[in-house]
Amino acid sequence: MSISVNGQSCVPPGFRFHPTEEELLNYYLRKKVGNEKIDLDVIRDVDLNKLEPWDIQEKCKIGSTPQNDWYFFSHKDKKYPTGTRTNRATAAGFWKATGRDKVIYNSFKPIGMRKTLVFYKGRAPHGQKSDWIMHEYRLDEVTDTNSHSHSHSHVASPIAEANQEDGWVVCRVFKKKNHLKSISSPKNCSSITSDAKTQLMHSTSDEALDHILQYMGRSCKQETEKCSNASTSLSFKCLKPIETIASMHERFMKLPALESPTFQSSVSPTCNSQESYMQDTVAAVVNMDRNYNSGDGITDWAAMDRLVASHLNGQADPAKHELACFDEPNFNFYPTSRLLLSSGADECTRGASDITSNTGGDGCDGDLWSFARSASSGSGSERLSHEESGGAGGRGGAMEWRYPYMGPDQNLLTQVRTYVDILSERGRGPMLDPFFLICFTMRACCFNIRADQARMYVS
């Protein structure tokens, strides 16, 4: 397909098809969905299941100018007639979604969603990751701020979900550039010191956490046996309700980044036995909310907390360690009335105070946390409800992912193991470390916080 008039290319030098996301959604996809004529047929229809990524560049080229990205329309088909998932397998491999879906805004109005997918050669779950990346854009009229905290929106309305998983999408395919982004590269180190402020402003809590986890994954690989010992040295012994959780979380929010040498050295293995560490960690077990039937507070993160809890319970003696040190209300800012704090909490005083140096922070976090504290002390329930009615964006998709409370039973344990298996399968090393699981939970919370922050910035 070439853009030409009387055989002459009418695209002047330097110009090429490089649409903005808004143009893709608001012009091309909207016309496609509405069956309107598109002036210049630059975006072809493609059957994604029949086209390998390396064939896309030939099929979707525009004129003769060299391209780094290619565009096409694709009609999503369901994997199973009854399900909601999309079949994105080709003969040679499959496209696998990764990351969270991103809301695409037209100034401040959400107009659609972007899903990022990576091409894996082979068949799940043993595919081999490639450098081919696809951004899949869908129009999403009903998008609200809820949708972007987790990619898989277990949207309340089945109709909305059906719309999302069925129909025309516009895709952009490109080959990932191989930047070497090593966390330990000297370049990064220096940029941390000279730009600490910028880093703090731009890097987010989960980046820091990711770094931690990446590092953990790496050290786990290197010293499989000492995996959990390494994390013990973070003095992550016990978790204390409310304040400590908050402050620990805050620290996570403000971790300078893993590049900080102090942090790295603090990860040196010490000699706590795995067993005793487990027991300490079990002190952080979530006490299940027995008031579940009120039905207003079960979130995915709560489920995650439980998964962690049940996992830990599964490995240690559940009866012995029935301590209630934190509960998802802390994380998700529910009123304390739902907190069940046992006397065992007293043991959990140290918290994360030694975890690493705190590097100051910005006012936004402070506000957030003062809010968190007031909410969890019960006096902030009014603000809380206001917050919820004000858009519920904070917990986002979390609200929609509800699991009934079943207690720390074998099923949940299996689930945790499943997650851990996924990680191991991806070469992240043995991740059975409880510290990891707690990080995982913390990370889940960061999601919520970030969504809140995002909304604060927007509003």
Partner 1 sequence: MGEGITSLPPGFHFYPSDEELVVHFLHCKVSTLPCYPDVIPTVHLHRYDPWDLNGKALQATDRFYFFTRMSQSRGTPNGYWSQVGSDEQVRTGGTDVGLKKTLVFYIRDSQERIKTNWVMHEFHLLDGSHSNSSGGNANSRTKKGHSTKECNKWVVCRVYDSSGGSQSSFQDEGTELSCLDEVFLSLDDYDEVSLPK
- Does 352 bind partner 1 (CB under 8 A)? Our answer is no
- Does 156 bind partner 1 (CB under 8 A)? Our answer is no
Nearer to partner 1, 23 or 144 (CB): 23
Say how far apart CA 262 and CA 407 lie, in whole Å: 39
Q: Which stretch binds partner 1 (CB under 8 A): 38-46, 232-240, 272-280, 311-319?
A: 38-46
- Does 182 bind partner 1 (CB under 8 A)? Our answer is no
> Are 170 and 25 contacting, i.e. CB atoms less than 8 angstroms apart?
yes
- Does 320 bind partner 1 (CB under 8 A)? Our answer is no
Closest approach of partner 1 to the CB of residue 88, in Å: 12
Give, in order, the Cα–Cα distances in Å from 64 to each of 40, 56, 255.
Answer: 16, 15, 48
> Are 326 and 286 contacting, i.e. CB atoms less than 8 angstroms apart?
yes
Say how far apart CA 287 and CA 180 lie, in whole Å: 43
Say how far apart CA 411 and CA 163 lie, in whole Å: 32
> Are 163 and 217 contacting, i.e. CB atoms less than 8 angstroms apart?
no
- Does 176 bind partner 1 (CB under 8 A)? Our answer is yes
- Does 24 bind partner 1 (CB under 8 A)? Our answer is yes
Q: Report CA Rg, the chain.
A: 24
Out of 224, 268, 276, 411, the residue judged to bind partner 1 by CB under 8 A: 411
Structure tokens at 457: 């910035």
> Are 256 and 196 contacting, i.e. CB atoms less than 8 angstroms apart?
yes
- Does 422 bind partner 1 (CB under 8 A)? Our answer is yes
Kindly identify the residues of this chain, within the stretch 438-457, that bind partner 1 according to CB under 8 A: 440, 443
Residue window 71-100: x/- pattern of binding to partner 1, with contact defined by CB under 8 A: ------------x-x----------xxxxx
Find how far residue 26's CA is from the centre of its chain: 27
- Does 305 bind partner 1 (CB under 8 A)? Our answer is no
Closest approach of partner 1 to the CB of residue 378, in Å: 30
Residue window 216-245: x/- pattern of binding to partner 1, with contact defined by CB under 8 A: -x----------------------------
Closest approach of partner 1 to the CB of residue 103, in Å: 11
Closest approach of partner 1 to the CB of residue 422, in Å: 4
Q: Which stretch binds partner 1 (CB under 8 A): 145-153, 270-278, 308-316, 387-395?
A: 145-153
Say how far apart CA 281 and CA 278 lie, in whole Å: 5
38, HSE (Cβ side, Cα atoms, 13 Å):
20
Find how far residue 68's CA is from the centre of its chain: 27
**DSSP states of 393-449:** TTTGGGGG-------S-HHHHHHHHHHHHHHHHTT------HHHHHHHHHHHHHHHH
- Does 34 bind partner 1 (CB under 8 A)? Our answer is no
Out of 20, 184, 193, 337, the residue judged to bind partner 1 by CB under 8 A: 20
- Does 122 bind partner 1 (CB under 8 A)? Our answer is no
Out of 1, 2, 36, 40, the residue judged to bind partner 1 by CB under 8 A: 40
- Does 174 bind partner 1 (CB under 8 A)? Our answer is yes
Say how far apart CA 178 and CA 175 lie, in whole Å: 9
Out of 412, 413, 437, 451, the residue judged to bind partner 1 by CB under 8 A: 412
> Nearest Cα to 69, choosing from 141, 139, 170, 164?
170
Say how far apart CA 426 and CA 162 lie, in whole Å: 30
Nearer to partner 1, 66 or 363 (CB): 66
Q: How many residues bind partner 1 (CB under 8 A)?
A: 71
Structure tokens at 115: 């899903």
Structure tokens at 120: 């894996």
Nearer to partner 1, 62 or 368 (CB): 62
Nearer to partner 1, 259 or 280 (CB): 259
63: left (phi over 0), alpha (psi -120 to 50) or beta: left
- Does 37 bind partner 1 (CB under 8 A)? Our answer is no
Closest approach of partner 1 to the CB of residue 458, in Å: 14
> Nearest Cα to 95, choosing from 148, 42, 181, 171?
171
Residues 6+ apart with CB under 8 A from 213: 428, 436, 439, 443
Closest approach of partner 1 to the CB of residue 214, in Å: 6
Closest approach of partner 1 to the CB of residue 194, in Å: 6
242: left (phi over 0), alpha (psi -120 to 50) or beta: left
- Does 39 bind partner 1 (CB under 8 A)? Our answer is yes
Nearer to partner 1, 326 or 440 (CB): 440
Q: Which stretch binds partner 1 (CB under 8 A): 49-57, 155-163, 193-201, 222-230?
A: 193-201
Nearer to partner 1, 348 or 438 (CB): 438
- Does 426 bind partner 1 (CB under 8 A)? Our answer is yes
Nearer to partner 1, 210 or 328 (CB): 210
